[in-house]
Structure 1
Amino acid sequence: MQKRLQKTALLVVMGAGFVTGSGAVAQEDPAAQCDAMRDIVFDSGHVTSARVMDAAAEAPAYCEIRATALPAIGIEVRLPLENWNGGYYQAGCGGFCGNLHGRGDLINSMVPGLVKGYATATSDSGHHGLSSVDAGWADGNPHAERDWGWRSIGETNRVAMVMIDAFYDSATSPAIFQGCSTGGRMAHMAALRYPDMFDGIISGAPALNETALVGTALAWQVQANTGPDGTPILKADKTDLIGDEVMRQCDDADGTKDGLIADPRACTVDLSVIGCEAGNADAQCLTPQEIEVVAKWRNPPVDSTGKVLAAAGIPAGSEPFWRTWLTGDGAGAPAINPLFGQAFGSYMAFPEDPGPSYSLLDFDFDRDPGRMAAAADMFNADDVDISAFRDAGGKMIVWHGWADAIVPPSMTTDWHARAEDAAGGAEALAQDVALYMIPGMDHCGLAAGPGGIARADIDPLTALENWLENGTAPDSIMVTDESEMR
């Protein structure tokens, strides 16, 4: 599939003098050429700034263009001043997004594309937020919710194509999208809503079903760990105890004792062996209440009839990361999962936003999943019918860490199994979609896990490039082939 740049708007370029199809600009003064990008006129938006950014580390010098796609999608485009490879790379964003800053490496960053010579772009998804867990922007704002849900993907691409055409006056190929977490959800949304837009898509730890995950599963986690007095039952001081016992019981479930749990589904953990004796509760044992919390976390949320509401059990082996996501660190830093759940329920989940008075303890597992139908239509990207993307020749890499404690890997393996059925079997889907499950990896590889595995150990972009070039799905996305995959 050869995606070619389409002119989607009237361009006015003052004093530019660009060269056609060379991958490099013609004038000797790159600052002047970049400055001229401020004068571009395009439909339903405007350029806000353009400046030359010097080469740094592995990244080349580039023209940084900031633009707004109306009503409020902030977009940044980076155009290499030399040695443009002719391609386009678009990055997703994380959490509730809300800024264009702080993306310095693989995860939801333009850097991987820029260092390889791609013209790159990303967006704030349509709003400004104070942090990735800030959803106050969505309060009574369905337009911003729409843009975060899906529209910012297409608008970022549209504006980037205008800038690329003006700067290089050349077609662009290949076109690649990469994102993790919310960015992974955006990757799937791109395949569903914009099936002809990208030649290749990389989806990491995708939050595919926002309402089932952030609306339902995170409420389940909080309610499971809240005692009658309203305080947490399981705290940070027990996470190492649990993690050590899980590793003791599961490390060699795959036949190899290597400090990694290859597939948590292959091991059933019995925490009663570290249970406290009657009348004794200290840091070296688990109370019955603490064991019950872990049991509920391991299993997906259900309603009062036992109906499963989300494929969202917390996997064995994720315990090293529980202080970040589930329990807080015990020294003042709160757990992140409840913050996301609280913000989503307050401002994004329901037809009428309850606001800051909302509590995850109020979530009703019989009533509230059905109340999120409108949000599901706008945010969820778990539809397995990506046939239009596949028919257009698109290739997709999906990866997920087995030790993810916020976006459970079971959500991705469940999607993949359903996608195989929809495609007519595993062999048919594998022609266009490849899944890689990574033992010991935290959410998006943000923190190093057992064996030191983190985001720096994977290179899905090179793997996808090779697939697009030679037509063969990669065996691995690891920087080295030392870790077991699949």
Structure 2
Amino acid sequence: MVSFKSTAVYMLGASTAAAQQIVSHPHKACSAIADNFSYEDVTVNFATFVPAGTNISLDHSGELTTCGRPNQIVPVDLCRVAMFVKTSEISNITLEAWLPTNWTGRFLSTGNGGLSGCIQYEDIAYGTQYGFATVGANNGHNGTSGNAFYKSAEVVKDFSWRSVHTGVVVGKAITQTYCQDDYTKSYYLGCSTGGRQGFKEVQKFPHDFDGVVVGAPAVGFNNLTTFLTPDKWALVHDDILNQCDDLDGVADGILEDPDLCTYRPVTLQCASDATDTSACLTAPQVETVRKVFSRYYGDGANNQSALIFPRMQPGSELSDAFIYYNGQPFP
């Protein structure tokens, strides 16, 4: 994560001072947002001028308790705008725009993580620190559970792409209103699900941004979840060590270089007449494990196979069995 942020600092923070402009009468301009900003399907909940160094308390009630963000320090003087944005007859997003008084003329949209319906205030603050008018949204639902997706295609649509794009459109409009000028450059910053959101924006709305910075993009989201229990993954882990531990010359319970391990889970497959499968894997489970530890290829140019995504590394199975390897809800 450190290297990802360093990249973002280099790309997004370059030449910050050269284009700065000061918003005239920021207190008054911020209050005017609450009173006068009008945009289709947008309700401004509040617009408040916040001085640099303020530690603001964030909504930490109900499903938002799972977000783990009770407060956030504001790095620069800014106008904080919170909005309710209707995305369909049965869906909406909560959107925030943080608009710095010392503005560089640049706009930044931020993403989410996991199944998250949590505004990543730390990323918004990070953007404003470098003079960006920055927005972030709750991705169409509150908290870290996917329960809101159940029988609600519109909420899924918000999560898939509409929340980010809507935030970009509304965010640029409110930035222009507050700063009394149009943006010069528009960027995106996100990691994991946020990385997927960035790629989806490039694919679906290529004119939203001049550039995107994405980390660990969860682009094959549905395929990230597999269906073995942690106990079964523990069996796999032991079998991986049996097959690969001594490849480095020392059997010490450590895979010195996981790239050297070509794991074959078929050794754990249950007998066809087995009645107790607690200490072995069924044929579908063997196939699941094989796919997890196999590279994913697609059709490339000239009928050649192209690498789409690398495999998961052997050795990841113990920790990830409790995250997304077991088919259970995760934050």
Alignment of 1:33 with 2:29, yes or no, is yes
**Does structure 1 retain, via aligned residues, the 8 Å contact 2:245–2:255?**
no
Aligned counterpart, 1:79: 99
- Measured against aligned partners, the alpha-carbon deviations of 1:266-303 in whole angstroms (never above 9, x if no partner) come to 43247999x9xxxxxxxxxxx962799996554217xx
Aligned counterpart, 2:63: none
- Counterpart residue identity of residue 212, structure 2: I
- Counterpart residue identity of residue 96, structure 2: E
- CA separation in 1, counterparts of 2:98 and 2:248? 44
- CA separation in 2, counterparts of 1:160 and 1:24? 19
Please report the RMSD computed on the Cα atoms of aligned residues, expressed in angstroms. Answer: 3.9
* Change beyond 3 A, Cα 1:326–1:125: closer
Alignment of 1:15-414 (within 5 A): 23-27=21-25, 30-39=26-35, 40-56=37-53, 59-71=75-87, 72-81=92-101, 83-100=102-119, 103=120, 105=122, 109-126=123-140, 128-129=141-142, 131-132=143-144, 134-211=145-222, 213=223, 218=225, 221-222=226-227, 224-225=228-229, 233-234=231-232, 248-249=245-246, 261=257, 264-269=258-263, 289=280, 296=287, 298-300=289-291, 313-319=311-317, 321-322=319-320, 324-325=322-323, 337-339=327-329
* Change beyond 3 A, Cα 1:58–1:290: farther
Q: CA shift at 1:198, angstroms? A: 0.5
- Measured against aligned partners, the alpha-carbon deviations of 1:34-91 in whole angstroms (never above 9, x if no partner) come to 222112111221211111233246822321111122231211101112x322211111
* Change beyond 3 A, Cα 1:54–1:297: farther
Alignment of 1:460-471 (within 5 A): none
* Change beyond 3 A, Cα 1:272–1:162: closer
* Change beyond 3 A, Cα 1:260–1:206: farther
Aligned counterpart, 2:16: none
**Does structure 2 retain, via aligned residues, the 8 Å contact 1:88–1:120?**
yes
Gaps of 5+ in 2: 1-18, 54-72, 269-277, 293-307
**Does structure 1 retain, via aligned residues, the 8 Å contact 2:146–2:329?**
no
Q: TM-score, normalised on structure 2? A: 0.65
- CA separation in 2, counterparts of 1:246 and 1:52? 61
Aligned counterpart, 2:60: none
Q: TM-score, normalised on structure 1? A: 0.46
Secondary structure at the residue paired with 1:112?
helix
- Counterpart residue identity of residue 155, structure 2: A
**Does structure 1 retain, via aligned residues, the 8 Å contact 2:99–2:133?**
yes
* Change beyond 3 A, Cα 1:36–1:147: same
* Change beyond 3 A, Cα 1:60–1:320: farther
- CA separation in 2, counterparts of 1:208 and 1:88? 24
Aligned length: 261
Query: As a proportion of its length, which structure holds more strand?
Result: 2
Gaps of 5+ in 1: 1-20, 226-231, 253-257, 276-286, 302-309, 328-334, 344-486
- Measured against aligned partners, the alpha-carbon deviations of 1:11-50 in whole angstroms (never above 9, x if no partner) come to xxxxxxxxxx9622212xx444322211211122121111
Q: CA shift at 1:176, angstroms? A: 1.0
* Change beyond 3 A, Cα 1:53–1:321: farther
